[in-house]
Amino acid sequence: MRIFKIITIDGPASSGKTTISRLLAKKLNYLLLESGSLYRLVTYLLLSTSDLKNYLKDSQKLLKFLEDMFKEIEIKLLSEGTFIYWKERLIKEELRSKDVENVVSKVAALKEVRDFLTNFMRKLAENKSIVAEGRDMGSVVFPYADLKIFLTASDEVRARRRFKEKLNKESNCKYEEVLENIKFRDELDSKRAVAPLTVPDSAYVIDTSYLTPEQVLNEILKLIEK
């Protein structure tokens, strides 16, 4: 009989979650669940309607919207990442737009959205070995995970990482704006009432500020061996 395993990697923006969880999923040949892309997807879908404000005010309407929209959504979990198709079209760059970036933490603070996505992700992970990456993977979504990791790094290191990444796409991108956005999202993510960003019980904390991705990966592999 095959034993399915779950490894969670949580932490704030640009703490290294995406890079490390990709390396780890590849190394172990596990599927990669990037939960942030689902929060970004819901934000993108809500922004695509002309009725955003009403959805945010009316929880019944919001739930109905999520149920209807997700009938048209297909998620493919691979060890390379989480691929999202809407009406058979791959949605990727859209999820990283400035508009989505500015609103996602507000949408992610809504209880209806969190409950809906928590159930959705648990079903998605059934009978699979996965690396689950996000903000509340070890604390709320998969509290019985086999291994929990929490990555951190200083605000400035994280902002520099995100700035470098963004400069490739937006040449007029400003470091100060990136730093502000990161601090703003950290604040909303850590202070929200439902599933705030927190170090899960029994998680191993790794400060990635001065480590290369390979060094972080090796630390995690050592924990797995233990």
Contact positions vs ligand CDP (CB under 6 A)? 13-14, 17-18, 35-37, 39-40, 104-105, 108, 134-137, 185, 189
CB of 95: closest distance to ligand CDP in angstroms? 8
Q: Which residues contact 37 (CB under 8 A, 6 or more apart)?
A: 82, 84, 95
* Beta carbon nearer to ligand CDP, 13 or 25: 13
Residue nearest to ligand CDP (CB): 36
Q: How many CB atoms lie within 10 A of CB 24?
A: 23
* Beta carbon nearer to ligand CDP, 113 or 222: 113
Give the gyration radius of the chain's Cα atoms.
17
* Beta carbon nearer to ligand CDP, 196 or 204: 196
CB of 144: closest distance to ligand CDP in angstroms? 17
* Beta carbon nearer to ligand CDP, 201 or 226: 201
CB of 105: closest distance to ligand CDP in angstroms? 4
CB of 136: closest distance to ligand CDP in angstroms? 5
Q: How far apart, in whole angstroms, are the C-alpha atoms of residue 173 and residue 180?
A: 12
